Amino acid sequence: MTELTHLTIEDALKGLKNKDFSAKELAEAHIEAMEGARDLNAFIVETPEIALKQAEESDKRYASGDEGLLDGIPFANKDLFCTEGTQTTAASKILEGFVPQYTSTVGQNLADAGAVMLGKANLDQFAMGSSNTTSAFGNVINPWKTSDGKDLVPGGSSGGSAAAVAARISMGATATDTGGSIRQPASFCGISGIKPTYGRCSRWGVVAFSSSLDHPGPLARTVKDNALMLQAMAGYDPKDSTSANKPVPDYAAAMTGDMKGMKIGIPKEYRLDGMPEEIGKLWDQGAQWLKEAGAEIVDISLPHTKYALPAYYIIAPAEASSNLARYDGVKYGHRSKDAETLADMYAKTRAEGFGDEVQRRIMIGAYVLSAGYYDAYYIKAQKIRRLILNDFEKAYETVDAILTPTAPSAAFPIGENEDDPIKMYLNDVFTVTANLAGVPGMSVPAGLDANGLPLGLQILGKAWDEETVFKVGGVIEEAAQFNAMPQKVMSKAA
């Protein structure tokens, strides 16, 4: 039998129903994998005692035949999702020791579906970053290595979640995507992930970075597993004023493989100068696969694409500077010990508690919102955001979905791009557009680069039409037959 940690969620659910193994055995196998892979630094806190307790309860439900959608499935919970009774840090020093009194809606939905929490996954501090190197708890290491064994970043910000899933430590994970943080780490780690439509998954109980751009969503190894995860996570939540009161469709059922009559757009603006040739080739190959499956490939234009990255890096820091104002050492988290006055305490607490990248974002945000620059930067960026949404709406009058690469590179070595924030921000060039427009986007592993590292393709859909995204993603997955495994897992199996 396949090792328990190598099963897909879909197969594990079958095995649990058949009583081939128990939820407790499944949890134990994953706890062992988690403990054996600590060098990846994928978790800030491990919660094996919670996992075992939840697994035992799951076994009882299987015994009485009233199991939930994800009963017994071990998952990693990004440490941005509040967990009642378990520390939640957003990978920051300022929240170190913060133990929430409530659980995020998405986390609660997963618990209600029977999922088993292995621990709190590492991330870029406050989800700001593309490499997981901004965590106050040390960077995460990608289970994929270069051929000469060099350590690579897992992507970010959901790097701990993605590394845990790729290394077969967890079957799925929660993640958030503000500018690409589900899709880019999925691409870097050779797994799948979907950022649903804005409003599909509740943001309640998720530490806020940029509230109008933050999207909770899942990571898992297969497209079908993502469908099952999203199904459990999504749904209306009156506690989030931007949550949509819409029924959640059966995502797995949408994966029919039938591309007849479907039109897929290829946006010319995503063919960047200087992008590695192999990424362009993989993109062409992806279009070819969809064509062979019966879809019509249509060249389209999303003319304002080149303004997306600058608009994102104004709007996201602006909202972050406002959201992060609450961390002042008074209500929760870190408080500076050597402050004499209140103002001094605020300043010292924030200087000590926030990492460099977070401070950079707060400063950019405060600047673009300041009286003299508000119109020139913030308002202009909001206007660009509208134009980007218009581009998508126009394109979707002709096509059902859009295909692009997920990221302009494969995973890069730890330390690269560190001294040049703009170069780091360029990583998000293909992903931020969907956040600005609120439309769904998924990354599916589609091939390897010349160095043997995974590359993903991105499928973008219409608002509320995740079903088409899953359908197209399933076809790409089937055609790509991506079954390469990261070295970290292979050496364990050997």
Burial of 238 (0-12, 13-18, 19+ CB in 10 A): exposed
Q: How far is the CB of 180 from ligand GLN (least distance, A)?
A: 5
Cis status, amide bond into 181, omega within 30 of 0? no
Smallest distance, Å, CB 5 to ligand GLN?
Answer: 27
Shortest distance, position 157 Cβ to ligand GLN, whole Å: 4
Distance (Å, whole) CA 213 – CA 316: 7
Residues that bind ligand GLN (CB under 6 A): 127-130, 156-157, 176-181, 209, 316, 428
**Residue number, 402 or 436, with CB nearest to ligand GLN:** 436
How many angstroms separate the CA atoms of 332 and 338, rounded? 17
Q: Among residues 95 and 489, whose Cβ is nearest to ligand GLN?
A: 95
Catalytic residue among 104, 157, 158, 161: 157
Least distance in angstroms from the C-beta of 493 to ligand GLN: 32
Q: How far is the CB of 425 from ligand GLN (least distance, A)?
A: 7
| Angle ∠(318,323,326) on CA atoms, nearest 5 | 135
CA atoms within 13 A on the CB side of 191: 35
Q: Taking the complex as a whole, how short is the minimal distance between the CB of residue 427 and ligand GLN, in angstroms?
A: 6
Strand 74-78 and strand 116-121: the pairing is: parallel
Distance CA 159, CA 51 (A): 21
The answer to whether 240 and 205 have CB atoms below 8 angstroms apart is: no
| CB of 217 closer than 8 Å to CB of 233 | yes
- Pick the catalytic residue from 181, 187, 192, 210: 181
Q: Is 491 a catalytic residue?
A: no
Q: Considering the complex, what minimum distance in angstroms separates the CB of residue 431 from ligand GLN?
A: 7
Strand order in the sheet with 215-220: 43-46, 116-121, 74-78, 172-177, 215-220, 192-195, 441-448, 454-461, 401-405, 263-267, 296-300
Measured from the CB atom, the residue of 178 and 321 that comes closer to ligand GLN is: 178
Q: Which residues contact 168 (CB under 8 A, 6 or more apart)?
A: 3, 5, 6, 33, 489, 492
Active site residue 157: yes
Which residue, 178 or 406, is less far from ligand GLN as judged by CB?
178
Which is closer to ligand GLN, CB of 58 or CB of 417? 417
Complex with ligand GLN: residue 161 or 178, whichever CB lies closer: 178
Tell me how far apart the alpha carbons of residues 120 and 79 are, in angstroms, rounded to a whole number: 5
Q: Is 243 a catalytic residue?
A: no
Collapsed DSSP state (helix, strand, coil) of residue 369: helix
Out of 78, 145, 195, 471, the active site residue is: 78
Structure tokens belonging to residue 295: 């879809």
DSSP 428: G
- Residue 86 or 132: which CB sits closer to ligand GLN? 132
Nearer to ligand GLN, 176 or 197 (CB): 176
- Length of the chain, in residues: 494
d(CA 189, CA 348): 37
d(CA 127, CA 184): 13
CB of 424 to ligand GLN, least distance (A): 7
Show which residues are catalytic: 78, 157, 181
